[in-house]
Each structure stands twice: as structure tokens, then as C-alpha cells.
């Protein structure tokens, strides 16, 4: 092997390394944007949960009597509470999808690290599954 071919090989290796670093940088930027979105969705989910609790207390008004009370209770249970439950479930689904996308991107980034990256991917997948299950 000549010295020129070794320099060429070294140059290709540096170019490849730069490409990996650019790709990892791009993935990190995407992850950062997704984490920001996840934070916003989690905040909305928390607000919906609070409003749902407040609405639930409205359904237990002890001081109101009259022939419209049952109609009022049905309206709260059927419309308002179901609406809050649907909205909460949708925000929960969105949170799970964002976490899963973050995990895929983190795994993509760590694949560039070789064998250690593969082990990290397995741990990352398990952690995300656990978080999505309990949250």
C-alpha cells in the first residue's frame, strides 16, 4: 500500500466521521424539538386532568333540587366528562407517540456508536415501553 492510498483512506475515514457527526447533530436537533413538543403536550394533558376533576365536582352538587337536576347530571356525564376523557386520552396517545419517536431517533443516533449503541438501544426501548405503560 502506498502512502498516497493511505492518505486517501484516511481522508475518506475523516469524511465518513464528519458525515456521522452531521447526522448525529441533526438527530439531536430533532430530539430537542420533540422534547419541547412533549413538554407542551404533557402540560396540556395536566391541564385537561385538572379541568376534568373540576367538572367531576360539578356533577356532585348537593344543594340543587328540581326536575332539571337529572337532565343536568346526564349532560355533565355524557357530554362534558366524556369530552374531557376523550381529549385526555388523545393527549396521552400523542405523548406516547412522541416518546416513541424520540426513542427511535435516539436509537438511530446511538447506532453510529457500534456495539455499545446496540445495547443502549435495547435499554432505551425497554425504558420507553415502561414509561408509556405507566404514564
**Which pLDDT band holds residue 89 (cuts at 50, 70, 90)?**
very high
The 3-state DSSP class for residue 135 equals coil
Instruction: Say how far residue 47 (Cα) sits from the centre of its chain.
Output: 17
Instruction: Say how far residue 100 (Cα) sits from the centre of its chain.
Output: 6
Between 43 and 9, the more confident residue is 43
pLDDT tens-digit readout, 46-58: 999 998 888 777 7
pLDDT tens-digit readout, 23-43: 888 989 999 999 999 999 999
Which pLDDT score, from 0 to 100, does residue 62 have? Answer: 63
CA distances from 5 to 17, 24, 74 (A): 18, 28, 81
Q: Which residues of 101-121 are buried (b: 16+ CB within 10 A; e: fewer)?
A: bbbbbbbbbbeeeeeebeebb
Mean pLDDT within 73-92: 86
Amino acid at each position: 500500500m502506498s502512502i498516497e492510498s493511505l492518505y486517501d483512506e484516511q481522508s475518506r475515514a475523516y469524511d465518513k466521521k464528519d458525515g456521522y457527526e452531521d447526522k448525529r447533530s441533526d438527530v439531536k436537533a430533532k430530539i430537542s424539538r420533540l422534547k419541547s413538543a412533549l413538554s407542551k403536550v404533557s402540560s396540556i394533558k395536566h391541564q385537561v386532568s385538572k379541568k376534568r376533576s373540576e367538572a367531576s365536582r360539578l356533577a356532585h352538587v348537593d344543594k340543587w333540587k328540581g326536575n332539571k337536576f337529572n337532565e343536568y347530571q346526564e349532560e355533565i356525564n355524557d357530554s362534558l366528562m366524556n369530552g374531557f376523557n376523550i381529549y385526555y386520552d388523545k393527549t396521552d396517545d400523542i405523548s406516547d407517540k412522541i416518546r416513541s419517536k424520540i426513542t427511535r431517533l435516539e436509537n438511530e443516533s446511538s447506532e453510529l456508536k457500534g456495539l455499545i449503541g446496540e445495547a443502549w438501544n435495547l435499554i432505551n426501548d425497554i425504558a420507553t415501553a415502561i414509561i408509556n405503560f405507566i404514564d
